[in-house]
Chains A and B, each alone.
Chain A
Amino acid sequence: MTEHHQPLPDLPPPITSTGVIGWMRQHLFSSPLNIFLTLLSLYVLSIIVPNIINWAFIDANWTGTDRTVCDANPNGACWTFINVRLNQILFGLYYGQHADQIWRPITAFIILAGLVGLLLLPRLRFKAWLGAGVLLLYPFVAFALIHGEWLGLPVANSSQWGGLMLTFILASVGIVAALPLGILLALGRRSEMPLVRAFSVTYIEFWRGTPLITVLFMASVMLPLFFPSGVEFDKVMRAVIGITLFQSAYTAEAIRGGLQAIPRGQYEAADALGLGYWKKTIFIILPQALKISIPGIVNSFIELFKDTSLVSIIGLLDLLNMAQTASRSIEWKGYDVEAYIFAAMLFWIFCYGISRYSQHLEKTLHRGH
């Protein structure tokens, strides 16, 4: 063993190259061109930002029940419109018109939030069983509440669903139903059986090569062709089927990436212990592969969440389209900027929240190594 040479610790960097001042020097004022661009940007911002703040907050209209307030003060944003049409934008046409029924989607959402919160508790016992129960039973609870009929509640036909609620339903049913399909496809793509592999590859590449808007269009035009005429096929159901088939291909690719990252030694150790293909896959390979796939799956979920707006092609009104529709009603014509801003804000809150949660999940799942 040679003796180790012990380097002296580095001197601390000069104060002007660290901290806020250092950062600004390095990134904003490093050359004459940069200085010019920085000053120009500051100037532009100083003109725009106060205007936005004035419009959105200081001069904005918040009160009232119709457009008279807003029309009297056209310099400010008309949040009155959002306020009055909130139920419609969040829950769709039926609940927009039946304010006394609004407790139904809200209850469904609170139950979901409660269950998810429960599942997020660390060290909860029987978590897997609870999770499976939620996955299997909750959709029926939510359907009974939101659709009605079963519990003697007035029927809210699915063609009347819309807004944030519809976006949420389409995206979450899509991702949950696509996950098991995606897992099977990813495993199939790596299978040693040529037929299984060929099927998986063809399926995945077919859906990945087709834009969602085409898928939705085909789901609305073509699905009914496969069923006897006269069978009225629910529009939301069509969208969910199309989205699930589409999404499963992306989920499969995300999971395949995870599978490829598992070292060969893991397979060999499982083989040597006598675990068969399915036990090896379920207990050893998938738990590790899914963990690695989380960022990819979440990314495609966020994309899906935003892409649900495309269901307008089959006549469904998701958050964006519902906001737009509300702003085009006779009562509120002309206030579409507010509608778009509000929809964008909700999209952002959800997508940002999901993204943060996935980062958190990756951290908590990270074990040693």
Chain B
Amino acid sequence: MNTKSAPLTDTYRHAPVGHHENDLEKRLMIDIRDVHKWYGEFHALKAVNLQVHKGERIVICGPSGSGKSTLIRCINRLEEHQRGDIIVDGTELTNDIKHIDQVRREVGMVFQHFNLFPHLTVLENCTLAPIWVRNTPRAEAEETARRYLERVDILEQAEKYPGQLSGGQQQRVAIARSLCMNPRIMLFDEPTSALDPEMIKEVLDVMVELAEEGMTMVVVTHEMGFARTVADSVIFMDQGEIVEYAAPEEFFENPKNERTREFLGQIL
């Protein structure tokens, strides 16, 4: 992962061509306004507001069960919110399946447990969606997939099945699989917490590189080193609410909220 010659993503592709917008004011990519979510009786998200601009990196942390997964899964509609608005790159998430498909095409997601397709090879995992969702010709999709697999340093495993790879390798494949769809936004839900300690770095390295190239990222993680070096803002969630929202220096040196301090005391 030391070759910095080619970028990890085709960032320029996303330049808003002909978009009449002030270049200084970054484009709003994710707009979450007063969102509530219930699981039956259980109030999982309470009046959540969050704005993420193009190229911004947001890290979300908080105790288990605080609603971190629920929140980022609402961004690509793996979970449905009941109140408030979620607008992703100009598309509002409603029950309209067209809107949902539109958003999912633009938003990549990496899961805690990788969720690779075990019956497909690594290469097939990476080409399936480009071919069948974006109608990319197979040869082109494979070329793209090989390029990303090379960038996450796993090209030599392209013909293997996910079950034959280590956790760290699988997670890097999962990242490559998402990138093959050329997403404008990447969501990460605890991407390293199912990994053995010695494999965490290889995954974080890929994520840092992605961040350096200007990808808009929302990352749920407890890797505070990653938050410090990469994040533009860090969010602390507790009991379905955003309790603290600050730049990393501020967040770590001078947390305003008592619960944040308690939490940081436990994990740092």
B77, B104, B119, B162: the one within 8 Å of A273 (CB): B104
CB-CB < 8 A to A275: which residues of B? 128-129, 132-133
CB-CB < 8 A to B76: which residues of A? 271-272
B153-191 CB contacts (< 8 Å) to partner A: 161-164, 177-178, 181
Whether A274 contacts B133 by the Cβ 8 Å rule is yes
Contact A368 B78, CB 8 Å, known A268-B115, A283-B132: no
Interface 9-mer from B45-53, B54-62, B85-93, B105-113: B105-113
Within 8 Å of chain A (Cβ to Cβ): is B118? Answer: yes
Within 8 Å of chain B (Cβ to Cβ): is A291? Answer: yes
Within 8 Å of chain B (Cβ to Cβ): is A346? Answer: no
Distance A367 CA – B115 CA, assembled complex (angstroms): 15
CB-CB < 8 A to A279: which residues of B? 132-133
Whether A369 contacts B132 by the Cβ 8 Å rule is no
- Residue of A283, A287, A291 contacting most chain B CB atoms (<10 Å): A283
Shortest Cβ gap from A369 to chain B (Å): 4
- Residue of A269, A273, A276 contacting most chain B CB atoms (<10 Å): A273
How many residues does chain A have at the interface if contact means C-beta atoms less than 8 Å apart? 21
Contact A271 B118, CB 8 Å, known A276-B101, A368-B162, A368-B163: no
Whether A272 contacts B133 by the Cβ 8 Å rule is no
Whether A274 contacts B116 by the Cβ 8 Å rule is no
Within 8 Å of chain A (Cβ to Cβ): is B263? Answer: no
Within 8 Å of chain B (Cβ to Cβ): is A9? Answer: no
CB-CB < 8 A to B117: which residues of A? 266, 269-270, 284, 288
Distance A155 CA – B91 CA, assembled complex (angstroms): 66
Instruction: Digitize A275-309: 1 where CB-to-B-CB distance is under 8 Å, 0 elsewhere.
Output: 11001000110011001000000000000000000
Within 8 Å of chain B (Cβ to Cβ): is A353? Answer: no
Which residues of A line the B interface, CB within 8 A? Answer: 263, 265-266, 268-276, 279, 283-284, 287-288, 291, 367-369
Whether A367 contacts B105 by the Cβ 8 Å rule is no
Whether B118 contacts A273 by the Cβ 8 Å rule is no
Instruction: Digitize B118-143: 1 where CB-to-A-CB distance is under 8 Å, 0 elsewhere.
Output: 11000000001100110000000000
CB-CB < 8 A to A369: which residues of B? 118, 163
Distance A141 CA – B128 CA, assembled complex (angstroms): 36
Distance A251 CA – B47 CA, assembled complex (angstroms): 47
Query: 5 new A-B pairs (CB below 8 Å) besides A271-B77, A272-B107?
Result: A268-B115, A269-B117, A275-B133, A279-B132, A291-B119
CB-CB < 8 A to A271: which residues of B? 76-78, 104
Shortest Cβ gap from B244 to chain A (Å): 28
Distance A272 CA – B111 CA, assembled complex (angstroms): 10
Distance A232 CA – B181 CA, assembled complex (angstroms): 57
CB-CB < 8 A to B113: which residues of A? 265
Distance A166 CA – B194 CA, assembled complex (angstroms): 56
CB-CB < 8 A to A272: which residues of B? 76, 78, 104, 107-109, 111, 178
Whether A273 contacts B163 by the Cβ 8 Å rule is no
Q: List 12 A-B contacts (CB under 8 A).
A: A265-B113, A265-B115, A266-B115, A269-B117, A272-B76, A279-B133, A287-B119, A367-B163, A368-B162, A368-B164, A369-B118, A369-B163
Contact A367 B109, CB 8 Å, known A272-B78, A273-B129: no
Whether B129 contacts A274 by the Cβ 8 Å rule is yes
Distance A275 CA – B104 CA, assembled complex (angstroms): 9
CB-CB < 8 A to A268: which residues of B? 78, 111, 115
Whether B104 contacts A367 by the Cβ 8 Å rule is no
Distance A96 CA – B181 CA, assembled complex (angstroms): 63
Whether A273 contacts B181 by the Cβ 8 Å rule is yes
Shortest Cβ gap from B191 to chain A (Å): 13
Shortest Cβ gap from A350 to chain B (Å): 29
CB-CB < 8 A to A269: which residues of B? 109, 111, 115-117
Whether B111 contacts A274 by the Cβ 8 Å rule is no
Shortest Cβ gap from B109 to chain A (Å): 4
Whether B128 contacts A273 by the Cβ 8 Å rule is yes
Shortest Cβ gap from A271 to chain B (Å): 6
CB-CB < 8 A to B108: which residues of A? 272
CB-CB < 8 A to B162: which residues of A? 368
CB-CB < 8 A to A291: which residues of B? 119
CB-CB < 8 A to A283: which residues of B? 128, 132
CB-CB < 8 A to B78: which residues of A? 268, 271-272
Shortest Cβ gap from B100 to chain A (Å): 9
Task: List the B residue with the shortest CB-CB distance to A279.
Answer: B132
Whether A274 contacts B101 by the Cβ 8 Å rule is yes
Shortest Cβ gap from A75 to chain B (Å): 59
Shortest Cβ gap from A262 to chain B (Å): 10
